[in-house]
Structure 1
């Protein structure tokens, strides 16, 4: 594919890919060690979960705002400012090791994490403008390449975090990532093209019309649930694995296993989606196997034959990584097809609207997952926590079965 890009396009793609990788590393790097450090500072599992979900909540809220003000500030300014802010906040978060007061520590966790998410939201919004401006004929292909780096960031972030934490303690993962993000800022100033002549459209489809299509609502719920499954593990898996006396590096590698299998299986599921064009059946099959994996992972306290061993956890996470990908990958195609079948125009405005809904629903799942997971872990233990996630998934399956989907008319 790269042979079809000129030099400027290749440099732009490289710049965006590196930043996307760092952004999602920033989201996931503290998963193997932060719950333990937070507990030592006095934070409950519930509050620790809120620290994880707050990042996604801020991105969910601020992305539409940056979409509105981007034409005033300029895409390049927003992109560079966002990277600089996120990198700086990573460094500041590493300094929280020196804060011993419970109230001050918990407050600063939310404040710094919130501003970090504002920066990520800024450059993520601007990156879409660069894609549309630089690759007008290959938008979907380029976004697919960038999603690979998003998945890579989520995959290796916990592993990098675990290794750096073992080498240098709480500070080192945040210092390394923060300095790296700031270091690429001047490079991006020269690599990214000016987009002063690019006009961001504000008209188009109606989100209210889109959300009047029942199939769109069902698909949106599927996206929220699958995203929640992925995200609830951030604050809960490390406490669950403590009984096995694993090192931070080993816990980081277990997080990597889940994300890596997601990334490895995604191209195959994507090919299968295009080949058979049956998104409902694929989402249902993916959710059923994901629910089974969650019951094994707990393990479910109401199924006596299930036992909690390191091998059962690895098996469950492997199944989960593969079949979460199966459930999630057809969702965008399903959302777009449902929108068009429900009466929305087959146009760029609809594609952009659907992409916004998909992103919003995914972010909402990232908010709900860690918060719900942290609460259930704190009050009922990991077995019940994982079982509840499985039951929510199976309940979603009930309303997503192909025979029940005759939902392309509007309300």
Structure 2
């Protein structure tokens, strides 16, 4: 049964990644003139889905048992499949084939020899990927370690779900705010600030051993609010900045560029989210949650100078 569970988890992760990359890439192309709002809209949907799932999943688990939540969610995905399959959105954004009437039109993209993977040589583009990698580390740390840590407070499944829903609610709010920030072209200037939210979140979630406080639910709620805002903002601002960086480097504003950037962004996030859980689980088991969280706290603090340098260089360029 463990093998079946691992296979199902791997298949689900692959499907979710493909689903997210396709959705984000399509949204950013369709709403290319309003890129910030496109990214923010997708983030709001992601966060609202997370908030709903956390509360609904906990309630279903309390009533029908733990596995029931997975059957309900899979049923919802199956019901949405026909609407996705019949949508014309992918047809509208496909690459014109040789012989298509539109390929010789005014809006036809000029072919270029530039390869998208050349972006991986650009330090600024790489820095945006590192931001998403850190987001993945944060997500991968919280997912397996926070719920067992909450056992000391004797919460029900729905009570635990409410803790995670705080994260999702602030995720949505911060995403909406980031839409305006991206519209004002202030992404890079705001990156250090939103990264500070993540640092403060890890300072309070335990709380940090060097603080004169004992574990309390109020600290956890505040930390979840900070981390929800920080992770969402770092994701949205980095994604928007990466798209704009690619276009500034001379790449076409089309589905190919959007797909590559989106794929690179999500790959960075997934790598972080994949590496973090086993390492975090081992560290927390060996050192405890409060001390273990300080390792990621240190990593986040160490990255702050790079974001400040990025902010400074961006201001100089303008």
Per the normalisation by structure 1, the TM-score is: 0.63
User: Residues 11-410 of structure 1: matches in 2 within 5 Å?
Assistant: 104-105=1-2, 107-124=3-20, 127=23, 135=30, 140=35, 145-186=41-82, 188=84, 191-193=86-88, 199-200=94-95, 205-275=114-184, 277-301=185-209, 303-341=210-248, 343-345=249-251, 347-348=253-254, 349-402=256-309, 406=313
2:187, 2:238 within 8 Å by CA — same for their partners in 1? yes
Distance 1:116 1:327, change over 3 A: closer
Deviation (angstroms), 1:183: 3.4
- Structure 2, unmatched stretches of 5+, are 98-110
Q: Hey, what's the Cα distance between the residues in 2 that align with 1:122 and 1:306?
A: 43
Deviation (angstroms), 1:246: 0.7
Higher deviation after alignment, 139-148 or 153-162: 139-148
Deviation (angstroms), 1:358: 1.8
Higher relative contact order (CA 8 A, sep 6+): 2
Give the equivalent residue in structure 2 for 1:78. Answer: none
2:197, 2:230 within 8 Å by CA — same for their partners in 1? yes
Q: Hey, what's the Cα distance between the residues in 2 that align with 1:161 and 1:380?
A: 30
2:167, 2:228 within 8 Å by CA — same for their partners in 1? yes
Distance 1:192 1:181, change over 3 A: same
2:38, 2:179 within 8 Å by CA — same for their partners in 1? no
- Structure 1, unmatched stretches of 5+, are 1-103
Higher deviation after alignment, 144-153 or 357-366: 144-153
Deviation (angstroms), 1:297: 0.7
Give the equivalent residue in structure 2 for 1:96. Answer: none
Deviation (angstroms), 1:393: 0.8
Give the equivalent residue in structure 2 for 1:90. Answer: none
Q: Hey, what's the Cα distance between the residues in 1 that align with 2:137 and 2:151?
A: 22
Q: Deviations for 1:119-155, whole angstroms, at most 9, x for unmatched residues?
A: 434555665687699x587795666544432222222
Q: Hey, what's the Cα distance between the residues in 1 that align with 2:144 and 2:178?
A: 28
2:171, 2:232 within 8 Å by CA — same for their partners in 1? yes
* Number of aligned positions between the proteins: 298
How big is the alpha-carbon RMSD for the aligned residues of Structure 1 and Structure 2? 3.2
2:40, 2:179 within 8 Å by CA — same for their partners in 1? no
Q: Deviations for 1:163-215, whole angstroms, at most 9, x for unmatched residues?
A: 111001122112222233333444555x4349679744798642432111111
Q: Which secondary structure does the structure 2 equivalent of 1:242 belong to?
A: helix
